[in-house]
Amino acid sequence: MTQKNAVGHQFSRRRMLAVGVVGLGVFALGGCGRNGVTQQFDEAEFSVTVEGKFGNTVLSHRPERVVTVGYGVDTDTAVALGVVPVAVPRVSSTPSGFQPWTEAAFGGTRPEQFTVDGGVPFERIASFNPDLILAINDYKLDEHHATLAAIAPLLSYATGPNLDRWQDTTRRVGHALGRDDQAQQRITETERKISQVRDASPLPGKTFTVSSVSESGQIHTKSDPNDVLVSSLAQFGLQLSPRVLALPTSGTLGIATVSQENLDVIDADLTLVSYGSAVHRQAFEATALFGELNSVRRGGYVALDSVEAQALAFPSVLSINHTADHIVPRLAEALR
Q: How do residues 27-40 score in pLDDT, each as one tens digit?
A: 122 233 323 333 34
| pLDDT for 166 | 96
| pLDDT for 335 | 97
What is the value of pTM for the model shown?
0.85
8 Å CB contact between 202 and 263: no
Which uninterrupted H or E stretch holds 239?
A: strand 239-240
| pLDDT for 216 | 82
Q: Of 163, 130, 143, which is closest to residue 57 (Cα–Cα)?
A: 130
Domain boundaries for CATH 3.40.50.1980 within the chain: 6-197, 200-335
| pLDDT for 118 | 87
Q: What separation, in Å, do the N-terminal and C-terminal C-alpha atoms of the chain show?
A: 37
| pLDDT for 182 | 98
Range 6-197 classified under CATH 3.40.50.1980:
yes
CATH number, domain 200-335, options 3.40.50.720, 3.40.50.1980, 3.90.1150.60, 3.30.420.40: 3.40.50.1980
* Category of 152 on φ-ψ map: left (φ > 0), alpha (ψ -120 to 50) or beta: beta
**pLDDT lower than 70: segments of the chain:** 1-44
Beta bridge partners of 87: 67, 112
* CA–CA dist 174, 180 (Å, integer): 5
| pLDDT for 284 | 94
Collapsing DSSP to helix, strand or coil, 268 comes out as coil
| pLDDT for 217 | 83
8 Å CB contact between 138 and 20: yes
CA 92 to each of CA 114, 309, 316: distance values in angstroms, whole numbers, following the listed order:
10, 14, 19
| pLDDT for 162 | 83
